[in-house]
Structure 1
């Protein structure tokens, strides 16, 4: 019985340790280039207007320490602005640095990343799951 528990724990630990790529030490030039494009900028979504005539915009600031700040700005029709700030953690999900993992089955699959454009698929859930959802989003540097 103890042997089964030990083997189960070993498999669980191995699974958890391979889930996210959170690397310490030196990065390759390609990895560092991706990190520099993501982290050294505040990325802004396009402004949208909802049914209540409120303008909504999202801002994302990624930091090299694996933290991220998401700021939602809602401006009502009278010009009154409300900001909601959420601090999150992030890590690359894969070794190719093409997917960002936020936790709780939330991912950004990077479609295009340049100094002027950060295009992603905002994904909730794992591929193959019946309730997985993906939405295309584009961000530009905040000016």
Structure 2
């Protein structure tokens, strides 16, 4: 009978992102409810950062994996950038929590944080490379110092 070890099983980036999202959601929701005694606001703050971490962790893992190749043909949502969404949303929960200290209305704090997250997403989706792409694309016409004649 063969025994399976931990080295033989591979944990997917999605699973790691999901586990990190649950921990982030729980921690931020708990802190928000503890500080402001508003369960709905705690759920919203935790959900913003939890969803952001859910997208950020797999994106970061796939960017570090040189063998990962993105398959455009099977991706139906090619225009969606998970890394940009993850970075924007993970910070939005913290921004909403910070704004709750300044603003009296929790809903207004969350709306401002979501608006800022949308603006961040627009900028980051243009600036960040997608997982499976190199940040610097090699083209035949590009100038290189390797072509210098000595």
TM-score clears 0.5: no
Q: Which has the higher strand share?
A: 1
Q: Which of these two proteins has the greater Rg computed from alpha carbons?
A: 2
Q: What TM bracket, shorter-length normalisation?
A: under 0.3
Q: Which has the higher helix share?
A: 2
- TM normalised by structure 1 equals 0.24
- TM normalised by structure 2 equals 0.23
